[in-house]
Structure 1
Amino acid sequence: MFANGYVGSTEDSQRIRKLDKQRGEQRKKFEELQEKKRREAAGLRQFGSSRSEAYEAAFKNETVGLVTREEFLEKRNTIQDRLAEDELRERLEAEATAAAEKERRKKEKEKKKAKAKLSFAADVMEAPEAAEAAAAPAAKRPRFSKLGKDPGVQTAFLPDKDREAQEEELKRRLRAEWVQQQEAIKNETLEIVYSYWDGSGHRRKVTVRKGDSIGVFLKAVREQLAPQFRELRAVSVDNMMYIKEDLILPHHHTFYELIVNKARGKSGPLFDFGVKDDIRMLGDASMESQDVHAGKIVERHWYERNKHIFPASRWEIFDPEADYGDKYTIKG
């Protein structure tokens, strides 16, 4: 039983004594730490005030006894000036020391950086060559991008950035030249002989560009024929058809495509638009000659009424993938 009236087991009492002992040790350490801090603070205050206290004591010694007001003020100003000079000198010395330390660190950093830039090749060179290489600027050292390559070995199959860049530049230049040439061809003029067919033929000529489409060609034809054929004035281009070599050419195809691809129809070439005669009126229709007939211009509603009658019964829509040349041979 404890004096404070606590009643418990022996283990509890031992644990309580142990905790009390730990608290006492912690309290003692805390008090020692506080005492140490007070001593350090007192020492710092004494260190900071030692100079001013020394000057104050010297001032008191110099002003012992009766002195005039002017002498008192002069001595006071002298002591203050001396104290200010000492503080300024100490501050300048501290700044100079800090600047010197900063410069020293900067030089050490530059020295380490320069050492890291040294190449492995400089380490294996002989002493005179190493000295010369170290004295020369790094920017003037020769670069050996293909050092150790045998010029006698066939390396055309290996990747080469320089060669690939030259090939790409050549391809780009040739592609640009080809595109320019094709644009020049498309801008060339083309004189087309056609026959407006309304049951009988009315042959005319019109000039277009090779790059123009069949739709543009039919618009030029309508403008040319409208003054003479009044029924065409109210007809749109979409209701007009162009038939060449028994093939109906869609409006989106261009003459450039027909010429470049050397397209062929059922009875002759589609890429020749000169003045020709109908081979069916002259001889064997299975034999192609240079004297082929001109293309026909008809209205769509005329074709719908007469597509079961010759010659409209032979017409079909042009298919670029189809081969129409196997039905006839070329004479000569």
Structure 2
Amino acid sequence: MAHYKGAAKEAGRAATLLKKRAKEQEEAEAKKKKIEEELAIGNIHNKFATHYDAIEQSLKSSTIGLVTLNEMKARQENVIKEREQQLAKKNAEARLIEKAKEDKKKKDQQKITMLSFDMDEEEEEAEASVDKEPDKEASDNSYDAEDFREEVKREETAEERKERKRKKRLGMNPEVDTSFLPDRDRDEEENQLRELLRQEWVATQERIKNEEITITYSYWDGSGHRRQAKMKKGNTVQQFLQKCLESLRKEFNDLMPVSVDQLMYVKEDLIIPHHYSFYDFIVTKARGKSGPLFDFDAHDDIRIVNDAKVEKSESHAGKVCLRSWYERNKHIFPASRWEPYDPEKSWDNYTISDRNAVRITVK
């Protein structure tokens, strides 16, 4: 009877462990079901409808008043990029949760295997102790919390021994090149590195756009009236013309009823569209007919000797004029040489013909 009671104690301990494992499995299944419900997507029509509805709603909420077509396209591209990053982040989190669940499942299976072997060994030891020492049956049958903790420690020690043996086994040859094989961890590291570099690049460009520059311009109404304006590299030509208009209205009464859309900015004999920014010409080192449009590098332009951030008067100050004046005088010099800016056109070798038909190359 004493041996029967001891077996009942072992059976109770095993039942407790099985209940604990069953509870953990139920929790894992509940988490899996929750993730599947969150990631559940309907048919392909609903998928794209939901995606573009969210983009359209975000675009509507961020757009106030009238905007140009290019600004609208730029905002739409930014919203689409943000939406794609959100979806990618959500999918990555789901994959990480799935991986953690698989690792936990493997660890639970290893524990179950070791516990089954440990229970067999304990039963054999108990039988041997009953045959050799019948007087100690009462002490062997007494099972309390302290004994349970000791057995758990022994199980953990056995697991550690098994892990050490597994590490000592012969693995892959470290000298073999496996870079061409798919590796999820390596791909994840590369993606994180790309994202980090992208963020650093964006931060650098934002810092450049916020740098201030002093631009020399000339209000042209048949004669030049030279002025200066401080702007940021990220400002557009339209913002620059608006600031010029506010300054010129104090001296020229004919500009009082004029709006910024009625002004033109001409740089190096090229009519610059309003939607371009100074940053666009700086990073591309764009050139006009008679020289660089916005080149503030002291090493590239020897005429700039004092401040590399300041566009000196020697670098052909841009002209600010009315469109109506240009339409009336576009057949007369210097307006006869002006033409719209084309980013695809190269002006590296621009030629001018003088009255004696001598061709002069501008470089």
Q: TM-score range by the shorter chain?
A: 0.5 to 0.7
Cα deviations by residue, 1:100-154 (Å, 9 ceiling, x for unpaired): 9xx98x949939989996559x99xxx9xxx999952387563969973211111
Give yes or no for the alignment of 1:136 onto 2:159.
Answer: no
State the partner residue of 1:321: 344
Query: Equivalent of 2:213, from 190, 209, 216?
Result: 190
Task: Tell me how many residue pairs correspond in the alignment.
Answer: 208
Provide the rounded CA distance (Å) in 2 between the counterparts of 1:249 and 1:202: 19
Cα deviations by residue, 1:28-54 (Å, 9 ceiling, x for unpaired): xxxxxxxxxxxxxxxxxxxxxxxxxxx
Give yes or no for the alignment of 1:250 onto 2:269.
Answer: no
User: After the TM superposition, which residues 181-260 of structure 1 pair with which residues of structure 2 at under 5 Å, given as runs?
Assistant: 181-260=204-283
**Is residue 195–residue 297 contact of structure 1 (8 Å, CA) maintained in 2?**
yes
Provide the rounded CA distance (Å) in 2 between the counterparts of 1:175 and 1:251: 28
User: Percent identity of the aligned residues?
Assistant: 51
User: After the TM superposition, which residues 153-192 of structure 1 pair with which residues of structure 2 at under 5 Å, given as runs?
Assistant: 153-192=176-215
Provide the rounded CA distance (Å) in 2 between the counterparts of 1:236 and 1:229: 14
Provide the rounded CA distance (Å) in 2 between the counterparts of 1:311 and 1:136: 93
Give yes or no for the alignment of 1:110 onto 2:129.
Answer: no
Deviation at 1:326, TM superposition (A): 2.8
**Is residue 265–residue 320 contact of structure 2 (8 Å, CA) maintained in 1?**
yes
Q: Which runs of 5+ in 1 are unaligned?
A: 1-99, 275-289
Deviation at 1:272, TM superposition (A): 3.4
Letter matched to residue 142 of structure 1: E
Provide the rounded CA distance (Å) in 1 between the counterparts of 2:216 and 2:281: 16
Give yes or no for the alignment of 1:311 onto 2:334.
Answer: yes
User: Structure 2 vs 1, CA of residues 203 and 108 (structure 1 numbering), >3 Å: closer, same or farther?
Assistant: closer
Give the match's secondary structure for 1:163: helix
Q: Choose between structure 1 and 2: higher helix proportion.
A: 2
Letter matched to residue 278 of structure 2: F
**Is residue 193–residue 273 contact of structure 1 (8 Å, CA) maintained in 2?**
no
**Is residue 262–residue 322 contact of structure 2 (8 Å, CA) maintained in 1?**
yes
State the partner residue of 1:272: 295
Provide the rounded CA distance (Å) in 1 between the counterparts of 2:152 and 2:16: 22
- TM-score, structure 1 normalization: 0.54
Provide the rounded CA distance (Å) in 1 between the counterparts of 2:261 and 2:234: 19
Provide the rounded CA distance (Å) in 2 between the counterparts of 1:265 and 1:194: 16
User: Structure 2 vs 1, CA of residues 319 and 225 (structure 1 numbering), >3 Å: closer, same or farther?
Assistant: same
State the partner residue of 1:15: none
Cα deviations by residue, 1:56-109 (Å, 9 ceiling, x for unpaired): xxxxxxxxxxxxxxxxxxxxxxxxxxxxxxxxxxxxxxxxxxxx9xx98x9499
User: Structure 2 vs 1, CA of residues 247 and 110 (structure 1 numbering), >3 Å: closer, same or farther?
Assistant: same
Give the match's secondary structure for 1:136: helix
Give the structure with higher Rg (CA).
Answer: 1
Cα deviations by residue, 1:228-287 (Å, 9 ceiling, x for unpaired): 01111111000000000110000000000010010111111111379xxxxxxxxxxxxx
